[in-house]
Amino acid sequence: MVLHFLVQGRVQGVGFRWFVHREASELDLHGWVRNTEEGDVEIVASGSADDLDELRRSLRKGPRGSRVDHLIEHYLDENEAEGLEAFRIEGAW
C-alpha cells in the first residue's frame, strides 16, 4: 500500500521532517519526506495498512512546536512503490 500525504500548518522549521523520518523508520516504511515551496511537508510512504495508519496518527500530532491544520492524503498505485527504499529525507542539508 502506498500513500501520499500533504501536511499543512506550522510544519517547517520545527523538525517535522526529522520527526516523520524517525516515525517512518521505526515502522520500517519505505519512502521519503520533504518540504514544499508552499510551506507544507510532503510524504510518500509504502508499507502495510496498519503501519500507515500508525504513521497517519503520528502526522496528525506532529513534533513539539508544530501545528497540523490539515492532513491531506490519497492512495497511489502500487507501482509507485517501485524504487522506494529505506525512508529518507529529501532536500536535507
- Residues 93 and 71: their CA atoms lie apart, in Å, by 25
Name residue 73's amino acid: E
Confirm if 44 and 2 have CB atoms less than 8 A apart. yes
Active site residues: 17, 35
Q: Could you tell me which residues come within 8 angstroms of residue 23 by beta carbon, excluding any fewer than 6 positions away?
A: 54, 55, 58, 59
